[in-house]
Amino acid sequence: MNIFNLKSIFTSNLKLIVILVVILSVVSCSGSGDDDAEVFTSPTGSTGNSNMTTDPDPDPEESTDPEVSAPSFTLKSLAGVDVKLSDYSNKVVVLFFFGNSCPICKAVGPKIESELASPFDGRSDYQILGLDQWNGNANSVEAFKTSTNVSFPLLLNASEVAADYKTTYDRLVVIDKSGNIVFSGKQTASADIAAVTTKVNELLGS
């Protein structure tokens, strides 16, 4: 009789343990299933949430910034003359931010001269200006002018202007005749010359 009771108790407890294990397994599987429904692997191998939608990445070459008024500035030229942005009102203005001893700036200088300066010689509604973002002295900027053989005015101590324009050296910025920034380069000047040339021709109607 005692043996029978012990078997009965053991069998009942075993059934209870099996039921508890089954319940815990179901709960665990249910939780992991929810996680799997939310997380997916993209074709590139990155993970994300399948219930979320995001806008596509912006074009990395997008550089236009329409209807942003160009910050005014006054800088000294190599000749020691004050040059103001307002001197070129009602003109299309291209700003070339450079570093006076920057190798890539020196390398692109002749191309900027041949593609953004020379073709527009004689136009009264166009101006290109070089701004030394590295704040070099007159001698260092003169050396840049000599090595690149650019003909357009080069202005000194332009780091604060670059900050106002939210840009840096080896960049191109285009300002339209209304004084708005319509192109602000986000890559090197050499990579943006073609786009800037197109924009300038569009603004000048040529």
Res 36: pLDDT: 38
In whole numbers, what is the pLDDT of the chain averaged over residues? 80
What does the pLDDT average to over 136-155? 98
> Contact 72/164 with Cβ under 8 angstroms?
no
Q: pLDDT: is 17 or 118 the higher one?
A: 118
CB atoms under 10 Å from CB of 22, counted, come to 10
pLDDT surpasses 60 at 12: no
Tokens for 149, please give them: 């053989």
Res 121: pLDDT: 95
pLDDT tens profile 39-88: 322 222 333 333 333 333 334 344 444 569 999 999 999 999 999 999 99
Res 206: pLDDT: 76
User: Measured at the alpha carbon of residue 189, what is the angle toward residues 186 and 194, in degrees to the nearest 5?
Assistant: 95
Res 188: pLDDT: 98
Q: pLDDT: is 98 or 1 the higher one?
A: 98
Helix (H, G, I), strand (E, B) or coil at 192: helix
